[in-house]
Amino acid sequence: MTHDLADLTDRPSGNPVLDRLDGVISGADAAEQIDAIIRQPDAEDVLQSLRAPTFYRLMKRAGWDQSYDLLQYATPDQIQVFIDFDCWKRDRLLTDELQKWLKALVSESDDEHFKRVCRDLDSEILAILFKSHLHVEMTDDQERPPDHLEGEVEVTPDGWYAIVYPDDEDKATLIRMLLDRLYHVDRVLAWTLLEAVRWELMSEMEENAYQWRNTRLEEYGFVGRDEAMEIYQYVEPVEYRETLEQDGSEVDARVEPPQRLDVPQVFQQEFDDEFFIFRAVEPLADEEEVKRILFQIRAVLNRAVIADGIEPGEIEAGREVVRRTLGYMSLGLQFLSRDDLERAQDYVLDVPLKQIFRVGFSLTSKLQHKVQSLKDRPTLGLLEEDNLSLLDGDDRALVESLLRRRPTYAEGSHDYDIFKEQEQLDSAAFRVGMIAFKQVWLFGLEDRSVSEVGSLLFGDDTLNSPETVTFDMLFATRVVHYLISDEDDPALTPLEPSTLETLPELMRDAPWEDDVAGYFEDLLDPIVEASSAATDKLAVRWLRQTLDRLDDEFGRISELDRPEVFESVLLLADT
């Protein structure tokens, strides 16, 4: 007889897609699920019939105090997967984490269960623990430990081995309990482990254990890291979309999901109409198709978890990875379908979701490469300790978010989010284009060299701190020169504070309000003529933003008592 958590509690997960499907294990409260299991007359059979990852996540969500004593009912195969999930960091076995499970095993299990688990675990697991903390030698005349051994030395019950236990009392106590129990129930295994401490190479044992672990994890959809990284391979988004539109859907090989589909609780909590892929899946009527889609999403999520360095057992803590995976998938689907929900529904049925994910990631990766290139034209900052110093807060936030290992979106300096929709991508692309234009304006159209701009920042004549000088401040200074100077082409130099006295009234009158481009024609024309036609809109937009900032700072004051407090323009120091 097989059992399932979904058979033992009818509490819905709260997810409108998952709750209408048969065969999806809900994320009901873990403590309630454990209680429901324990109350079953065949509770041990119920636990042993659970898939190991399901059992593990149940224990993890309930907390160790609530689930500690369940380990005595778990099968050796289940316990092996618990260790696979919880006790590894990349290719390294974490013996401190392993001790938690072994302590529960030696404390709660009867002799038969203890012997069976120790026998069926990968032989390297206990050997690695022992070799990490013990020194083992043969005794002299099978009675006394060798005289040269120091520390806490004990002889095994058969008198054959002298063991130097670790100074850490907790570790020493646990290993002593394990050895004593093994000598009682399986002396041959105890000898085997002690001989492994004496002769086996730690590197070989770790490599073998790691390979066996990866083989088991693949059975649960967790591939090796090299294979997992393939979902982050770049695919040209436009070309891929055109291929789909010209040649039809790229039909995926149909991999059928298991009868009972276990999805992480964190996924159940996040998979909602915030994401375009949810909105494409929700209306689908065929529950088996929906289940197959969810199985694919889980497979992509598993790969993202491994690729991003999160261990399989920590997936419930990887909320950011779950959201980013759904976000990239949603962005890719929205792009490929051109925001057409009906076409998107066709694509989620027929196009491999890992390809849709790759398209979404590739769209953000293209922006990332553009931002990376901006640093070479010639720079985004002139301070040795800050290579983004010429950007204001919002621009800096966007650049920093795009330069992350997995690009994210920053609406503003305090508003970060994962990429999940075309509108964010379009906004980010425009803003990156604006940043590029600001660079071109300063170092190209204004024909300023890095050294010349540096002299403005660090010169004795400049009142402003170099850390506060940005592209926006320099452009605002240029605009104010244009407004208050009699010169046809005033230089980009710090402003004399006394010359700002007419600025507040001018900002309040705003004679340019009806025709910004016309009023600032002499300022804008050289910019447009020296660049492309598309620059016209960027220049006017930047000008409007600059006038708004100047109005915020100067338009609401009646007189300039302390011009040094103003932050939007470059000011001349009082000499």
Q: Do 208 and 280 belong to one domain?
A: no
Encoded tokens for 406: 């997995």
What's the whole-number mean pLDDT along residues 448-467? Answer: 85
**Count of structural domains, the chain:** 3
pTM of the model: 0.84
% of the chain exceeding 70 in pLDDT: 93
pLDDT exceeds 50 at position 87:
yes
Please write the tens of the pLDDT for every residue from 54-69. 899 889 888 888 888 8
% of the chain exceeding 90 in pLDDT: 57
Q: Do 194 and 297 belong to one domain?
A: no
* Residue 359 falls inside a structural domain: yes
Q: Do 349 and 460 belong to one domain?
A: no
Q: Do 353 and 233 belong to one domain?
A: yes
Encoded tokens for 400: 């920093």
Beta strands at 24-25 and 261-262: parallel, antiparallel or unpaired: parallel
What's 220-256 look like in SS3? CCCCCHHHHHHHHCCCCHHHHHHHHHHHCCCCCCCCC
Residue type, 548: D
> pLDDT band at 329, cuts 50/70/90?
very high
For residue 315, the cross-strand partners are none
* Residue 552 falls inside a structural domain: yes
Work out the mean pLDDT of the chain and round it to a whole number: 88
pLDDT value of position 253 = 54
pLDDT exceeds 70 at position 450:
yes
Domain termination site, one of 156, 187, 219: 219
pLDDT value of position 322 = 94
pLDDT value of position 213 = 95
Q: Do 192 and 235 belong to one domain?
A: no
**CA–CA gap between residue 60 and residue 76 (Å, rounded):** 18
> pLDDT band at 559, cuts 50/70/90?
confident
pLDDT exceeds 70 at position 416:
yes
pLDDT value of position 4 = 56
**Which position has the token pair 């929205």?**
334
* Residue 370 falls inside a structural domain: no
Domain termination site, one of 187, 219, 251: 219
For residue 180, the cross-strand partners are none
* Residue 191 falls inside a structural domain: yes
Check residues 147 and 13 and name the one with the higher pLDDT: 147
Q: Do 229 and 204 belong to one domain?
A: no
pLDDT value of position 200 = 95
Q: Do 76 and 19 belong to one domain?
A: yes
* Residue 279 falls inside a structural domain: yes
Please write the tens of the pLDDT for every residue from 196-246. 999 999 999 999 999 999 999 998 889 888 899 999 999 999 999 999 998
* Residue 65 falls inside a structural domain: yes
Nearest 5°: the CA angle 103, 76, 119 is: 80
Q: Do 176 and 286 belong to one domain?
A: no
* Residue 420 falls inside a structural domain: no
Domain that holds residue 34: 5-132+169-219
Identify the helix (H) or strand (E) that includes residue 154: strand 152-155
Q: Do 261 and 206 belong to one domain?
A: no
pLDDT exceeds 50 at position 1:
no
Which of 156-170, 454-468, 540-554 bottoms out in mean pLDDT, i.e. has the lowest?
A: 454-468
pLDDT value of position 179 = 96
Q: Do 174 and 247 belong to one domain?
A: no
Burial zone of 8 (CB within 10 Å; 0-12 exposed, 13-18 middle, 19+ buried): middle
Encoded tokens for 397: 């936030």
pLDDT exceeds 50 at position 85:
yes
Q: Do 355 and 457 belong to one domain?
A: no
Q: Do 214 and 232 belong to one domain?
A: no
pLDDT exceeds 90 at position 317:
no
**CA–CA gap between residue 304 and residue 361 (Å, rounded):** 11
> pLDDT band at 534, cuts 50/70/90?
low
Q: Report how far apart, in Å, the C-alpha atoms of 17 and of each of 72, 399, 531 are.
A: 36, 36, 51
* Residue 153 falls inside a structural domain: no
Check residues 462 and 27 and name the one with the higher pLDDT: 462
Please write the tens of the pLDDT for every residue from 273-293. 999 999 999 999 898 899 999
Domain termination site, one of 204, 219, 234: 219
